[in-house]
Amino acid sequence: MKIEDEIKGRFRNDYHKGFINITYTVKQLSYAFLQTLKEHDITEAQYNILRVLRGFRSEGPSSIGFLKDRMLDKNSDVSRIVDKLFEKKLVDRKEGAKDRRQKDVEITSAGMELIATMDNCERKVDTFLQNLTPDEVHELNRLMDKIRG
């Protein structure tokens, strides 16, 4: 459905329409993804951190700065998110070996189990763009990279 029909609006120009179209689409996709995360009582930021920790597990503990660099939302308060995950026993945190002010964070076995049960989230995300062909998805990714410059 066209964006102007979806929101029953008008646009100053095609750039304005493009921006509104991207914003509206992202909000729809995010809402669908958040509904999946709610089933597991976890936020998008917590899920992001668990995925990063799982992906880099073989390299040992990760610092807060390392996690922050890999967050989708660069404004996330990673320390607070790690605290919440620690309370849920999904991560361990310890003083850094070289710098005691720094925290080393590792995913626990409970965190690994949770993220494994959430693999359906990954499969569901893949279906969000199912209306696009593989070539269109490639082009979409190219254009999004170009927008970010």
Tell the residue number behind the tokens 């073989």, with chain if given.
58
d(CA 2, CA 94): 51
Q: What is the pLDDT of residue 7?
A: 87
42-126 has which fold? Arc Repressor Mutant, subunit A (1.10.10)
Q: Is the pLDDT of residue 139 over 80?
A: yes
Here the tokens at position 43 are 């936020």
Report yes or no: 19 and 73 within 8 Å, Cβ to Cβ: no
pTM of the model: 0.82
Q: Is the pLDDT of residue 96 over 80?
A: no
The 3-state secondary structure of the chain, one letter per residue: CCHHHHHCCCCCCHHHHHHHHHHHHHHHHHHHHHHHHHCCCCCHHHHHHHHHHHHCHHHCCEEHHHHHHCCCCCCCCHHHHHHHHHHCCCEEEEECCCCCCCEEEEECHHHHHHHHHCHHHHHHHHHCCCCCCHHHHHHHHHHHHHHHC
Higher pLDDT, 77 or 128: 77
Rg (CA), the chain: 19
Q: What is the pLDDT of residue 36?
A: 83
* Domain extent listing, the chain: 1-38, 42-126
Residue 73: pLDDT band with limits 50, 70, 90: confident
